[in-house]
Amino acid sequence: MIWPFKKRTKKQIARIEITGAIASETREKVLKAFKTVVEKQFPALLLRIDSPGGTVGDSQEIFAALQRLQAEKDVKVVASFGNISASGGVYVGVGAKHIVANPGTITGSIGVILRGNNLERLLDKIGVSFQVVKSGPYKDILSFDRQLTAEEERILQELIDTSYQQFVATVAQGRNLEEETVRSFADGRIFTGQQALELGIVDRLGTEEDARRWAAELVGLDPDKTECYHIEEPKPLIKRLIPSRGQTRTAIDTAIDWLEFDLKTNGLPLWLYRP
């Protein structure tokens, strides 16, 4: 496809934002945005991350696509960590060759968590039970109406350990660190951007503006004149036609988002920081 503004885009930096918990919708949006970067031939990308993490597979796919964007298309990428870039946010971020964080950014939380709900005692009190017919002993693993067995805990721990090893290996590869070094701080703890710099997780301390200027310099553009082209998902027609009553989000809105995320990902391994 030939874009009419191809020459102009070579003088601009693309900007993509990853916000909130990373799930399938995030992956689809970001991968589509990466295609736009390639089609419009942007020389550099500013990837702004403000996310506590999310699902394992979606984070891995974004990371892999980010690696291809740099290796195959020679797009220079600078990741900018915002208020929080933890767990899966770190996994995605280390896919960029250059990372900038604010001194007070909350990052880290490198690890894996899998959560299930056990409502057995509550169900007993109200007299509710379930009849289960299954093809194998572990088909209803993490069922909410009973306690895990010791063997089920072993199976799930092995799954978590494997996913954790993938995480450690990826951080080590992306940041040119030894795996043992990564394991020394990859125990689920969080740290500031300042601490992340000392650990080798980020390259520089600075704002998103500093990251933009760095991206411009990497491709030989004047950082004082180079603009960002914000790649965003087009709003549905109805939202464009009907004026918004404001963009202010309430605590209820946020709680509903998290509830929806928890329901979708219940029983899935997560690279997610939950304070």
Q: What residues act catalytically?
A: 87, 139
**Which residues have CB under 8 Å from 61's CB, separation 6+?**
27, 31
Question: What is the 3-class SS of the chain, one letter each residue?
Answer: CCCCCHHHHCCEEEEEEEECCECHHHHHHHHHHHHHHHHCCCCEEEEEEEECEEEHHHHHHHHHHHHHHHHHHCCEEEEEEEEEEECHHHHHHCCCCEEEECCCCEEECCCCECCCCCCHHHHHHHCCCCCCCCCCCCCCCCCCCCCCCHHHHHHHHHHHHHHHHHHHHHHHHHHCCCHHHHHHHCCCCEEEHHHHHHHCCCCEECCHHHHHHHHHHHCCCCCCCCEEEECCCCCCHHHHHCCCCCCCCCHHHHHHHHHHHHHHHCCCCEEECCC
Residue 224, number of CB atoms within 10 A of its CB: 7
